[in-house]
Amino acid sequence: MNPCTIKLTVVCDEAQIKEGYDKAIKQFAKKVKVPGFRPGAAPKAMIEKVVPEAELIEQSADNIARSAFKAAIEQEQLQPHSQPHLEITAYDLKQNRFEMTVLVPKAPIVELGDYKSLKASRPPLETTEQEVDSYIEEMRRRKSKRETVTGRGVQQGDVAVVNIKLAGEEGDGRTFMTIAGQTFPQLDEALLGMEAEQMKALSLTFPENFQEKDWANKTFDCQITLRSLSTMKLPDLDDTFAQEFNVENLAEFKQRVKESLGRQKAAFFQSYVNEQLLDSLRAASTVHVPDTMWLDVANQRLRETAIEQQRQGKTLEDFAKENNMTVEALIEAQKNEARIQVERAVMVQKIFELEEMKLTNNDLTEQLHILAREYDMDPKDVLETLKKNGSVNELQFGAMFRKVLEKLNTFATITEETPQGG
């Protein structure tokens, strides 16, 4: 199929099928209890009566596949590099028919380009005062408190509790909590200047995406009543506010924010640089990997996505629609991304070997702490989880990947991008 993947089509003869089926009978004979017979001694006909046919077929198919696969790779003199993929394509016991396909992975082929002359660019690392002020303003909003408004009408950004009653409709209407200026133009305009308990009659055309579906995209004569009005009171930007974050004064707080934003920006831009280096290296290299490697990765990610959607009461199809894709397109995209990531991984492994790099305990400890921060867990808990899942090698690979990227950065020519408008 490609330089690293061989596809075998295996057709079994009657003797192989009989051997696999008889072995299944013996396997069940040891497990099931048949009155009048000691374990393993019940005749074939008795076992076939007490064991469901589907279970016998499943077990015999597994036996035949394992035996036939072993015989096939010996016949073709193949040595799989990793776990092959087996797929049974036909099994009819009555007609003595058994066929399967096997994807046999060979070792990856990596011909690296010049990884010591890569180029990348990154935006300026400087953190501006405007960025600091915007971040602090967001922190003030998070600590804001709602206060009832008296003595004035609705202003942009106020929290308004509004009742809307359709003309001629029975009942008390429907009540909504809205942010003035963020509903839809007609209602926003009507609310501005209204005071608590004030009423107003007007005609409203509700937008197509309005939350009340039976009103959406329709026009009604309405009566709106402003039930209550409040606003979000932001804390004063002073030393008292700053001291809530364990600093002495506002100046120190702003400096802390600036340093924190600088670290976040540096980490983000470093990821951006790393992506460029890996893309450039892949474009300059010739890399072949067995299909089984990236198929395993793609299937695992799809399973994880499906499980996460199920927890939210949704399906994989729902997830695909939310991303403007069909399920088929989603699967294809996952396969393509998995292929890229696997090809990157084998390139990194090759550089690690060529540069004669070694992993130290400090490298592994640092990677463990990186994972702990990523998953918001205690490092010890992360390590226990990796051990429990048999995934400790992920820790080693992550440390290796990070170390190789650090090496590539020392080799690369990295230029600063010109800011827009600069």
HEC string for 193-260 = CCCCCCEEEEEEECCCCCCCCCCCCCEEEEEEEEEEEEEEECCCCCHHHHHCCCCCCHHHHHHHHHHH
In the predicted model, what is the mean pLDDT of residues 74-86? 93
pLDDT digits (tens, 9 = 90+) for 215-230: 999 999 999 999 999 9
Per the prediction, the chain carries an average pLDDT of: 92
> What are the tens digits of pLDDT across the range 138-148?
999 889 888 99
Tokens representing residue 131 in the block:
């960025």
Residues 6+ apart with CB under 8 A from 347: 110, 112, 278, 281, 282, 285, 287
Report the percentage of the chain scoring pLDDT > 90: 82
Contact in structure between 228 and 161 (CB atoms under 8 Å): yes
**pLDDT tens sequence across 129-180:** 999 999 999 999 889 888 999 889 999 989 999 999 999 998 899 999 999 9
What pLDDT does 390 receive? Answer: 84
The answer to whether the beta carbons of residues 101 and 90 sit under 8 Å apart is no
C-alpha–C-alpha distance, residues 14 and 20, integer Å: 10
In this predicted structure, the answer to whether residue 102 has a pLDDT above a threshold of 50 is: yes
Digit-coded pLDDT (tens) for 380-410:
999 999 998 888 899 999 999 999 999 999 9
258-306 pLDDT, tens digit per residue, is 999 999 999 999 999 999 999 999 999 999 999 999 999 999 999 999 9
Query: Domains of the chain by range and CATH?
Result: 5-107 (3.30.70.1050), 145-233 (3.10.50.40), 250-416 (1.10.3120.10)
Average pLDDT over residues 16-27: 93
Query: Which residues make Cβ contacts (< 8 Å) with residue 407, sequence separation at least 6?
Result: 351, 355, 357
Rg (C-alpha) for the chain, rounded Å, is 33
pLDDT band at 35 (very low <50, low <70, confident <90, very high): confident
pTM for the whole thing?
Answer: 0.73
For residues 38 and 323, the model is more confident at: 323
Q: Which residue has the higher pLDDT, 64 or 42?
A: 64
pLDDT reported for residue 341: 95
Q: CA 110, CA 289: separation in Å to the nearest integer?
A: 8
350 has a pLDDT exceeding 90: yes
What is the rounded CA–CA span in Å between residue 345 and residue 281?
12
Per-residue pLDDT, averaged over 10-14, amounts to 95
